[in-house]
Amino acid sequence: MIGAAHTVASMGAILQVGIIGVGNMGGAMAQRLGSLGWSPRVYDIERTKSANLERFGALAPETVAQLAIETIAIIICVVDASQTREVLFGAQGIAPHLRPGQVVLLCPTIAPQDVEDLAVSLCRLGVDVLDVPMSGGPARARDGSMSLMVAGPEAVVQRCTALLDALSSQVFRISERVGDGARTKLVNNLLAGINLVGAAEVLALASRLGLDQSRTLDVITQSSGQSWIGTDRMRRAIAGDLVPRAHMTLLAKDTGLAQDCARSVDFDSPLGAVASRVFAAALQAGLSGLDDAALLQFMAHPPT
């Protein structure tokens, strides 16, 4: 346990860090930090996920309150704003156990207004907040090459530099305004959604034209139509591998949030609106439990 004399001044080097929510991305970050000797505390509502990370050097406290007490920086890596509020301020939330000077890093892709509101509530407790959405998938989180979009006060960022650098070789300093990380992530994910819908559409068309999908994707990958997400997801879709690395629900959520942001500033987003509708329709068609690569089969055989 951290004693009263253990303050945030020690954050220039390895610090006591906790991760709440250790699914695909949170678990990969825990493995990354464990491999570097950070011994992160981890907690998940599915306790087996936490326990499974002990072999990678993580510690698994019995309760989320214990994690909050034993750490200085706490990474929240759940799915959405509702889960984030529950982790922080719910009946079993960590807010009563937080101390002035601790830092909460918000990693979920949520609405900028939700980020701002959570930051205000935490700041009333003397707790600092960084808005740190991530991109790149579990493999890149595990090897430290994912992207982090960091927004928040410069002094807080400086205290967490060692942690951020341990997590990622691609740390983008966005601004000092909490919420701008979320805005940047939603802009990125809207383009990812547009690109993925486009890739699925053209490969479905290629098949209808009698073309070999794999060979067509080879051409696209080396030509002007290439996008990283299109190549990554369509390779898996062609192989019939729809085990979820990124559930269909995630880009459905994110493209919807991005459209909300566009409307909030009176911006017309025609391609984004189409992509958002396609993801929503895919969920309606029962594909929510699959990887978003399943868009290929959805575009090839849309419901009538």
* pLDDT single digits (tens) 259-279: 999 999 999 999 999 999 999
Using only C-alpha atoms, what is the Rg of the chain?
A: 20
How confident is the model at residue 253, as a pLDDT?
96
Q: What is the mean pLDDT of the chain?
A: 94
How confident is the model at residue 8, as a pLDDT?
37
How confident is the model at residue 13, as a pLDDT?
58
pLDDT, mean of residues 170-177? 97
* Helix H or strand E segment including 135: strand 134-135
Fold of 8-177: Rossmann fold (3.40.50)
Q: Are strands 73-76 and 170-175 parallel, antiparallel or unpaired?
A: unpaired
Cβ neighbourhood burial of 175 (10 Å; 0-12, 13-18, 19+): middle
Kindly tell me if the per-residue pLDDT of 237 is higher than 80.
Answer: yes
pLDDT, mean of residues 1-14? 40
Kindly tell me if the per-residue pLDDT of 3 is higher than 90.
Answer: no
Task: Flag whether the pTM goes above 0.75.
Answer: yes
* pLDDT single digits (tens) 62-104: 999 999 999 999 999 999 999 999 999 999 999 999 999 999 9
Q: Where are the domains of the chain?
A: 8-177, 184-300
How confident is the model at residue 162, as a pLDDT?
96
CB neighbours of 302 closer than 8 A, spacing ≥ 6?
281, 285
Residue 287's pLDDT band, with cuts at 50, 70 and 90, is very high
Active site residues: 185
CA distance 170 to 180: 17
CATH of the domain spanning 184-300: 1.10.1040.10
